[in-house]
């Protein structure tokens, strides 16, 4: 298992909408994540930033992330969530959420 964490800005005016969407996430979106080896996935909010954390149980993260991204249901979900978010100014051209570096872990 490998842990992943990411950060992105949440637009202030979209806070309520984003929170409501994630209080009732689509079952199909969750199923696609689980089918692609993502577990124990949380998103936290503070002061305009979203932090996400999940545990990946597969052996090809890149392929599984592509499966998730290419799924039509995921894309419909992202059509709603992406306009709420704003990548960090340091994000790469093809990056949406910015990957964080693990500096500490204790089981």
Q: Of residues 2, 40, 63, 82, which one binds a copy of itself by CB under 8 A?
A: 40
Q: Are 23 and 35 in contact (CB under 8 A)?
A: no
Q: Which residues pair with 54 in a beta bridge?
A: 4
**Does 26 sit near a copy of itself (CB under 8 A)?**
no
Q: Of residues 35, 49, 63, 69, which one binds a copy of itself by CB under 8 A?
A: 49
CA distance 63 to 80: 24
- CB contact set of 21 (below 8 Å; sequence gap of 6+): 80, 81, 84
Q: Of residues 39, 60, 63, 95, which one binds a copy of itself by CB under 8 A?
A: 39
The site for a copy of itself (CB under 8 A) is made up of 3, 5, 7, 18-19, 22-23, 25, 30, 33-34, 38-47, 49-51, 53, 88, 90, 98-107
């Amino acid at each position: 298992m490998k842990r992943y964490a990411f950060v992105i800005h949440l637009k202030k005016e979209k806070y309520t909408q984003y929170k409501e969407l994630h209080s009732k996430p689509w079952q199909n979106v969750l199923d696609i994540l689980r089918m692609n080896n993502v577990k124990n996935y949380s998103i936290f909010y503070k002061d305009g930033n979203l932090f996400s954390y999940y545990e990946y149980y597969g052996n090809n993260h890149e392929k599984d992330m592509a499966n998730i991204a290419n799924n039509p249901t995921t894309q419909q979900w992202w059509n709603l969530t992406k306009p709420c978010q704003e990548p960090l100014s340091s994000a790469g051209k093809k990056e949406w959420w910015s990957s964080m570096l693990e500096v500490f872990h204790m089981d």
